[in-house]
A and B are shown apart, each in its own frame.
Chain A
Amino acid sequence: MPIPNLEKPIIKGLIEKEKVVVDGVEVDGTWNAFMIERTQTGYDPSVWDEIAGTLEGATISACWQCGTCTSGCTMREYDPKYSPRRFIDLARKGDKESLVELQNSIWRCVSCQKCTHRCPKGVLVEEVVHSIHNYLLKHGLVQSDPGTVFDELFLDVVMKNGGRISELTLGGASAKAGFVSLSLRDLISMSGALLKSGLIKDVMKPSRVKDWDKVKTVLEDAMKDEIKPEDLQANIRYQVVPQ
């Protein structure tokens, strides 16, 4: 079948020739374009199983690909490749190759929760997308990204500063990691407001949890623990609204 001219720019691996001769006969001009053979292999069905076995990804199987999540997505406006529906589809097929191609998109979720809120099937889309991203990170398929670096930084600050975050400690740590680029003007207006109201005292002394060292030890222990697939038997009679 000839390839319509309009579709040519969107086809990957198109071969076009000026003149094609088959068995000594020149072929008509509309038949001179070919697609290279693209047979994708390497689908890995274990991707779906592994994601469905995590706490965040447990609802991935309920998705029926309607695209409600994607049509309202905040990120899609800025990144046309951002599509939670497609991420779920690819993860369930086990198409790791395509997911890796999308690595510069997947991490950019801003957690606005519109997708999870609107999903007609009760899929926790935001959680599932993070679970897919975590799968890629865990198996070393993608490099770490600014979002993940910041998340790790955040946890680190919580652990080191007595179980609480303060803008000063977080800001200092992010500046060290090269994130924040507050100009002198911003700093002056910020500290000006804080000085004027006497708030500077509160901001300068971050408070701590009383028995943090004990809590921290248990927490570090717990972080090595994992939720296993057999822990995820849903209590179907759970009460949505507490009594």
Chain B
Amino acid sequence: MSSPYGKVAFYPGCSLDGLGKSYEESLKLVAKDLGLPLDKISDYNCCGALEVKNVNTMAGLLLPARNLSLAREMNADAVVSACPGCHYSLSRTQFFMTRYPKVAQKVNAYLEKMGNKPYDSKLLMVHAVEYIYNSVGAEGVKSRVKRPLNGLKVAPYYGCLYSRPKSYTLSGYMGLRDDPERPSFMDEILQALGAEVVPFEAKTMCCGGPHAYSDVDVALHLEARILKEAKRNGAELLITDCPLGHVAIETNMNKIAEKYGEDLRMPLVYFSQLVAFAFGHSPSETLLTANITDPLSVLKRFL
């Protein structure tokens, strides 16, 4: 199977080493089954997410730039991130460095002081969903399914930063990118597993991520809106590709249920967990047991 991306480096990001461990483990299983390389940038640092850039401009550029430089040292042509927040931060730095040559010079000077190579702005940022979809396609996923999830109703939640904004992620400017307003790559992957994707208008709605702690009321309302839309369309599981949104909704689930009604409770699963589960891996291998909500209450009928 040929990947359209050339050599790929995998940027896990901090969240995948923390509560998002289940995302990383299951993604590794899926990549292995599909024969896709997933070489980790081992000495990565935090990308700064959506916070650091607001505090200090240079730190907001340098943190991602160091990771990009490390990826180039691995001779990579593309960086796969599983977290849309990281995907966004890396793309943002790439954008500013290509647009303003003098800014790039400045950033590169500091990179050299750190002992890294200057970054030449030649990488392509890829999200894990796009990577799987564009490398093997829905057909490639389908051919590996050992445990078809027929009749399972799912709502795919992509999150804000999966394909927004177009100036950074290049969606709309090039092929290989998903539709930024109505994405469909994850839908097709989930359909290939046999699951039924319900109509879901909250696909790219905001979960209040960066203000999940500092503006709690708004965050709870936004999260409740996503769950409500999924419930209204009859979904049994909310499938996520964003560790920020996943953790925010899972940890706030009790508060949401208290404030907006117990019927909004719904288990959350990372898309890679569901794919790995359908490929025949056990719940403990895919770490379905590590989710704070209990997806096995729904998935046990396929065991």
* Chain A bound to chain B: yes
User: Using a CB–CB distance below 8 Å, which chain A residues touch chain B?
Assistant: 54-56, 74-75, 78, 108, 110-114, 116-117, 122, 124, 126, 130, 133-134, 145-152, 154-155, 158, 163-168, 174, 179-183, 185-186, 189-190, 193-194, 196-197, 199, 202-203, 206-207, 209-212, 214-215, 218-219, 221-223, 225-227, 230-235, 238-243
Chain B residues, Cβ within 8 Å of A183? 254-255
Smallest beta-carbon distance A54→chain B, Å: 7
- Contacting pair B291 A55 (CB below 8 A): no
Interface 0/1 of B10-22, CB less than 8 Å to A: 0000110111011
Task: Assess the A242–B100 pair: CB atoms within 8 A.
Answer: no
Collect the chain B residues with CB atoms within 8 Å of residue A238's CB. Answer: 98-99
B259 sits at the interface (CB 8 A): no
Q: Looking at B48, B160, B180, which has the most chain A CB atoms within 10 Å of its CB?
A: B160
Shortest distance from the beta carbon of B163 to any chain A beta carbon, whole Å = 8
A-B CB contact pairs (8 Å), 30 listed:
A54-B57, A55-B57, A78-B218, A108-B218, A110-B215, A111-B160, A112-B164, A117-B164, A117-B165, A117-B166, A126-B165, A147-B54, A155-B55, A163-B45, A165-B15, A182-B251, A196-B289, A199-B21, A206-B18, A212-B45, A218-B110, A218-B113, A221-B110, A221-B113, A226-B57, A227-B103, A230-B102, A232-B103, A234-B99, A234-B100
User: Does B136 count as interface, using CB distance less than 8 angstroms?
Assistant: no
CB neighbours (8 Å) of A240 from chain B are: 170, 173-174
Q: Which of B155-189 contact A (CB under 8 A)?
A: 160-161, 164-167, 170, 173-174, 180
Q: Which applies to chain B's interface (DSSP): helix, strand, loop or mixed?
A: helix
In this complex, what residue of A is CB-closest to B43?
A210
**Once the chains bind, are B180 and A226 in contact (CB under 8 Å)?**
no
Asked if residues A179 and B14 are in contact (CB atoms below 8 Å), the reply is no
- CB-CB < 8 A to B254: which residues of A? 183, 185-186, 189
Choose among B18, B53, B59, B284 the residue with the greatest number of A CB atoms under 10 Å from its CB.
B18
Q: Which residue of A lies closest to B102 (CB)?
A: A231
Name B31-48 residues within 8 Å CB distance of A. 43-46, 48
Q: A243's contact among B19, B44, B122, B219, by CB below 8 Å, is which?
A: B122
Question: How many Å lie between the Cα of A211 and that of B44 in the bound state?
Answer: 11
Q: Is the CB of B251 within 8 A of A190?
A: yes
Q: Cβ of B222 and Cβ of A214 under 8 Å apart?
A: no
Q: Is A209 touching B45 in the complex (CB atoms < 8 A)? A: yes
Q: Is the CB of A152 within 8 A of B287?
A: no
Q: Which of the residues A133, A134, A197, A219 comes within 8 Å of B287, measured between beta carbons?
A: A197
